[in-house]
C-alpha cells in the first residue's frame, strides 16, 4: 500500500484502536513516519471532537421562555377561529342560497376570487 | 440518574402532563441549542431551529417508543430541522460572519496542563468547524461529536449513507489539514522512529 492509499484509509477509519486498521495499512504504517504522524493527528482530532460533546454553548436567557411560550396551547383558539370562520362562510352561503340563486352565485364567486388571489 | 429522570418525564409528558414536557425542555434545551449552533453557526438561526425542533418533539412525542435514548431522538430531530433551515438559508441570504459563541464547559478538567491543552484544541476545533461548509460540518458534528450512526445522519440530512461517509472523510481531512497545516507534529514522529 502507498502513502496516498493509506491517507484515504486513515480519513475513513480514523481509528482510535490499531485493531480497526486494515492489515495492509497497518503494515505500511509500521515503516512510514509520515503516515504514522498523520494517524496520530487523526487520533488527536477525533479525541478533540469527541470532547466537544462536553462543551455547552450557552443560549441567551430568553430562549427557554420563548420555547415554552411557543408550546403553550394557543392551538384551541386558532382552531376555534378557523371553525368560526368556516361556520360564518357556510352561514353566508346558506343565507345566500335562501335568498336566491343569484345571491349564492355572488358568494361563491367571491370565495373563488379570494382563492385565486392567494 | 439523569437518564431515568428524563425517561420519567418523557413517560409523563406522553400521558399528557404538560408540566412534565416543560421540565423536559428545561433539562434539554441548552444541549439542543448547542447542537443547533454547531450545525448552523449562527445564534439567531440556532434559536429558530431549537423552537422548531421542540414543536416537532411535542407533536411527535407519542411516536417516540423509548427503545432509543430520548437525547438521540432529539438530536436527530434537531439535525433534520437544521438541515431544512440551512437549505432555506442558502436560498434566501448570503452568510455573514457569525458572532462568537458563549462557550461553557459542562465537565471541566482538574489538571491545569491537560485543561490548557484540551481547551486550546477545543477552541481551534470550534474555529475549524465553523470554517467548513455547512454540508461537511453537519456530518462531522453529528458523527464525531454526537456519535450518531451513519444511517441516522443520512436519514436526517436526506442523503445516501455513502454520501454521508464521503462527506465525513472530506470534513475530517480538511479539519486535520487546518489543525496541522505543516504536517509536522513535535515528538510523535521521533517516538515512532525505529
Ligand atoms: Zn506512508
Q: Is the CATH code 1.10.1740.10 the one for domain B1-91?
A: yes
Do residues A48 and A83 share a domain?
no
pLDDT per residue over B29-72, tens digit each?
Answer: 999 999 999 999 889 999 999 999 999 999 999 999 877 899 99
Distance from CA of A22 to the nearest CA of B (A): 16
Q: Would A84 be classed as within a structural domain?
A: yes
Residue to mutate among A4, A35, A49, A69, with most B CBs inside 10 A, is A49
Structural domains in chain A (count) = 2
pLDDT computed for residue B87 by the predictor:
83
Inter-chain contact B47–A63, Cβ cutoff 8 Å? yes
Distance from CA of A47 to the nearest CA of B (A): 9
Give the span between the Cα atoms of A68 and B20, in whole angstroms.
Answer: 12
Cα angle B120, B40, A7 (rounded to 5 degrees) comes to: 55
* Start and end residues for every CATH 1.10.1740.10 domain found in chain B: 1-91
CATH topology for B111-183? Arc Repressor Mutant, subunit A (1.10.10)
Residue A11 has pLDDT above 90, yes or no: no
pLDDT per residue over A16-53, tens digit each?
Answer: 666 678 899 999 999 999 999 999 999 999 999 999 99
CA of A31 relative to ligand 1 center, distance in Å: 8
- Sign of the C-alpha dihedral computed for residues A17, B150, B177 and B145 taken in this order: negative
- Residue A43: domain span: 3-52
Q: Would A110 be classed as within a structural domain?
A: yes
Cα angle B59, B78, B146 (rounded to 5 degrees) comes to: 135
Distance from CA of B150 to the nearest CA of A (A): 12
Q: Would A45 be classed as within a structural domain?
A: yes
Q: Would A42 be classed as within a structural domain?
A: yes
Instruction: Note if the pTM is more than 0.90.
Output: no
Q: How many C-beta atoms lie closer than 10 Å to residue B113's C-beta?
A: 8
Q: Would A73 be classed as within a structural domain?
A: no
pLDDT band for position A112 (50/70/90)?
very low
Q: Give me the mean pLDDT over the B6-25 stretch.
A: 93
Which residues of chain A make contact with B118, given a CB cutoff of 8 A? 48, 51
> How far is C-alpha B47 from the geometric centre of its chain's CA atoms?
14
pLDDT computed for residue A81 by the predictor:
52
Please identify which residue in the block is written with the cell numbers 479525541.
A47
Q: Would A68 be classed as within a structural domain?
A: no
Give the span between the Cα atoms of B145 and A51, in whole angstroms.
Answer: 7
Amino acid at each position: 500500500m502507498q502513502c496516498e492509499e493509506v491517507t484515504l484509509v486513515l480519513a475513513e477509519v480514523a481509528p482510535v484502536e490499531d485493531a480497526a486498521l486494515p492489515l495492509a495499512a497497518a503494515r505500511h504504517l509500521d515503516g512510514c513516519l509520515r503516515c504514522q504522524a498523520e494517524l496520530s493527528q487523526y487520533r488527536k482530532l477525533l479525541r478533540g471532537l469527541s470532547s466537544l460533546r462536553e462543551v455547552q454553548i450557552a443560549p441567551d436567557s430568553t430562549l427557554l421562555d420563548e420555547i415554552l411560550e411557543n408550546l403553550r396551547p394557543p392551538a384551541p383558539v386558532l382552531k376555534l377561529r378557523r371553525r368560526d370562520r368556516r361556520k360564518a362562510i357556510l352561514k353566508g352561503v346558506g343565507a345566500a342560497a335562501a335568498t336566491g340563486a343569484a345571491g349564492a352565485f355572488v358568494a361563491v364567486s367571491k370565495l373563488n376570487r379570494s382563492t385565486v388571489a392567494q | 440518574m439523569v437518564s431515568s429522570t428524563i425517561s420519567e418525564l418523557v413517560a409523563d409528558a406522553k400521558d399528557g402532563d404538560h408540566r412534565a414536557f416543560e421540565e423536559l425542555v428545561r433539562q434539554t434545551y441548552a444541549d439542543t441549542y448547542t447542537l443547533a449552533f454547531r450545525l448552523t453557526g449562527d445564534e439567531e438561526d440556532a434559536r429558530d431551529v431549537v423552537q422548531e425542533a421542540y414543536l416537532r418533539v411535542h407533536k411527535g412525542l407519542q411516536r417516540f417508543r423509548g427503545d432509543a435514548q430520548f437525547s438521540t431522538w432529539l438530536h436527530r430531530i434537531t439535525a433534520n430541522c437544521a438541515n431544512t433551515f440551512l437549505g432555506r438559508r442558502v436560498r434566501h441570504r448570503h452568510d455573514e460572519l457569525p458572532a462568537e459563541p458563549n462557550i461553557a464547559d459542562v465537565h471541566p478538567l482538574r489538571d491545569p496542563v491537560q485543561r490548557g491543552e484540551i481547551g486550546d484544541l477545543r477552541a481551534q476545533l470550534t474555529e475549524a468547524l465553523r470554517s467548513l461548509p455547512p454540508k461537511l460540518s453537519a456530518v462531522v458534528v453529528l458523527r464525531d461529536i454526537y456519535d450518531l450512526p451513519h444511517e441516522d445522519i443520512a436519514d436526517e440530512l436526506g442523503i445516501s449513507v455513502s454520501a454521508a461517509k464521503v462527506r465525513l472523510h472530506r470534513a475530517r481531512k480538511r479539519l486535520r489539514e487546518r489543525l496541522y497545516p505543516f504536517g509536522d507534529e513535535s515528538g510523535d514522529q521521533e517516538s515512532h522512529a525505529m
